[in-house]
Amino acid sequence: MNQIKGRRILLIGGCGFIGHNMALRLKELGAEVSVIDGLSINNVLAFSSMEHDVVNRELYLHFLNQRQEMLRRAGIQVLIQDARDYHALSRLVALVNPQVVVHLAAVSHANKSNKDPYSTFDHSFRTLENALDACRKTVEHFIYFSSSLVYGHFEGGMVSEDSHCEPLGIYGALKFGGEKLVIAYNQAFGMDYTIIRPSALYGPRCVSRRVGQVFIENALRGTEISIQGDGSDKLDFTCIDDLVAGMTRVIESPNARNEVFNMTYGAACSLKTMADLIEEHFPGVQAKYVPKDKLMPDRGTLCMDKAKKLLDFTPSWPLERGFPEYIKWYKSLPAELFSTGSKSVMYG
Ligand SMILES: NC(=O)c1ccc[n+]([C@@H]2O[C@H](COP(=O)([O-])OP(=O)(O)OC[C@H]3O[C@@H](n4cnc5c(N)ncnc54)[C@H](O)[C@@H]3O)[C@@H](O)[C@H]2O)c1
């Protein structure tokens, strides 16, 4: 086992939703955690520079500032740097001298990626190549955040890591290309890797407006919720606490090296089930049905057997347990943080 305590771990894109939660937990477990983030994609600079009528601008800036404050209080080194700059990134990697690097930086939304491929390539693929190259001589373990969207349509409603990958759209294609690049760096330079395929995460301080978050925010404001398709589409909704727990196993376990893992709850739920949970907590909320995005594949469950077997990791937050906690957290926020209006929903 690789002890987390004392391990030098660098998270690139570590001020994001997943990154800051992972950084805080790893620090709690005694790791020496550093973060590199440019803060300009789906983060403070993006929301600060938006016009004032952007939905939930104040609320999301509040969440984003909270993240920075939590990282600061935990004593985590945060280095503000755009990872597209190869030389600057290399200097910081040399300065931190990490044993483990987790690459999270990306345009993390399928819908945004399909609208802006240039920027997505730059922030997702360019940053990955820079990180791999900056790390290849000294880093023991490189962990890459891919996505469930590499699979494309899930055949039979369930996929395991050896299922055929046929991504649909820009986001999935770049994630799949990223996986191949990570493996190529292992082949060429021997750097150990792990590839992680998460799906449909939810939890406090997210600003990505994925479906569950928008449902809760609309219900809190008393506006209707929009369900894409007929409500039968299923997603493997995953509580951030499960992902973070699984990631500590990935860092600890030698079995994680040079493997690909699904990292989800491991059981899909329909959008209708999620809408029913909303109705339970916000009686009287109205739902409407809208057409589904044509670039969004039919998904379902990501089988977690491999993580159970190789990492001894079993997720413990089914939607019926995790989602009400998320709702409770939202209900505890000051009402003045909410503005009116609604925008598109992310299903990535
Ligand atoms: N959240 C999910 O449900 C989910 C699902 C599947 C895959 N993923 C993948 O996991 C990773 C993290 O997701 P997240 O939800 O935390 O996303 P996020 O958008 O919250 O965080 C991404 C972070 O990367 C940073 N970043 C982007 N471009 C950068 C650059 N050029 N230089 C430095 N930093 C940069 C951003 O500032 C942001 O803080 C992403 O690669 C995403 O595609 C997330």
Is residue 256 within 6 Å of ligand 1 at its C-beta?
A: no
Residue 259 dihedral angles phi and psi, to the nearest 5°? -130, 160
Pocket test for ligand 1, best of 10, 12, 15, 41 (most atoms within 8 A of CB): 41
The predicted pLDDT at position 346 comes to 45
* Position in ligand 1 atom list of the atom nearest CA 19: 16
| Interval between CA 253 and ligand 1 midpoint (Å) | 24
| Interval between CA 187 and ligand 1 midpoint (Å) | 26
The predicted pLDDT at position 53 comes to 65
Print burial letters for 98-134: b (CB count within 10 Å at least 16), e (below 16): bbbbbbbbbbbbbbbbbeeeeebbbbbbbbbebbbeb
The predicted pLDDT at position 339 comes to 62
Given pLDDT bands bounded at 50, 70 and 90, which one contains residue 338? confident
The predicted pLDDT at position 347 comes to 41
Given pLDDT bands bounded at 50, 70 and 90, which one contains residue 341? very low
* Position in ligand 1 atom list of the atom nearest CA 206: 20
Is residue 17 within 6 Å of ligand 1 at its C-beta?
A: yes
Ligand 1, atom 2: nearest CA belongs to which residue? 201
Given pLDDT bands bounded at 50, 70 and 90, which one contains residue 335? confident
Closest CA to 218 of 342, 100, 68, 124: 342
* Position in ligand 1 atom list of the atom nearest CA 45: 37
pLDDT above 70 (res 51): no
Q: Render pLDDT for 84-93 as a digit per residue (tens, 0 to 9).
A: 999 999 999 9
* Spatial separation of the C-alpha atoms in residues 59 and 48, rounded to whole Å: 12
Domain ranges of the chain: 8-337
- Which is higher by pLDDT, 94 or 340? 94
| Interval between CA 283 and ligand 1 midpoint (Å) | 34
Percentage of the chain beyond pLDDT 70 is: 96
Strands (E), 162-231: 192-197, 201-202, 225-228
Q: Render pLDDT for 271-323 as a digit per residue (tens, 0 to 9).
A: 999 999 999 999 999 999 999 888 888 999 999 999 999 999 999 999 999 99
pLDDT above 60 (res 263): yes
Q: Render pLDDT for 100-133 as a digit per residue (tens, 0 to 9).
A: 999 999 999 999 999 999 999 999 999 999 999 9
pLDDT above 50 (res 343): no
| Interval between CA 42 and ligand 1 midpoint (Å) | 8
* Spatial separation of the C-alpha atoms in residues 299 and 51, rounded to whole Å: 35
Is residue 108 within 6 Å of ligand 1 at its C-beta?
A: yes
| Interval between CA 282 and ligand 1 midpoint (Å) | 30
Q: Render pLDDT for 187-245 as a digit per residue (tens, 0 to 9).
A: 999 999 999 999 999 999 999 999 999 999 999 999 999 999 999 999 999 999 999 99
Q: What is the DSSP string of 119-165?
A: HHIIIIIIHHHHHHHHHTTT-SEEEEE--GGGG-SPGGGEE-TTSPP
The predicted pLDDT at position 232 comes to 94
Is residue 83 within 6 Å of ligand 1 at its C-beta?
A: yes
The predicted pLDDT at position 214 comes to 95
Write the class of the CATH domain 8-337. alpha beta
pLDDT above 70 (res 250): yes
pLDDT above 80 (res 13): yes
Given pLDDT bands bounded at 50, 70 and 90, which one contains residue 342? very low
The predicted pLDDT at position 344 comes to 43
84, 127 contact by CB (below 8 A): yes
Q: Render pLDDT for 25-47 as a digit per residue (tens, 0 to 9).
A: 999 999 999 999 999 999 999 99
Given pLDDT bands bounded at 50, 70 and 90, which one contains residue 348? very low
pLDDT above 70 (res 259): yes
* Spatial separation of the C-alpha atoms in residues 46 and 68, rounded to whole Å: 15
| Interval between CA 108 and ligand 1 midpoint (Å) | 5
Is residue 103 within 6 Å of ligand 1 at its C-beta?
A: no
pLDDT above 90 (res 336): no
Print burial letters for 198-231: b (CB count within 10 Å at least 16), e (below 16): bbbbbbbbbbbbbbbbbbbbbbbeeeebbbbbee
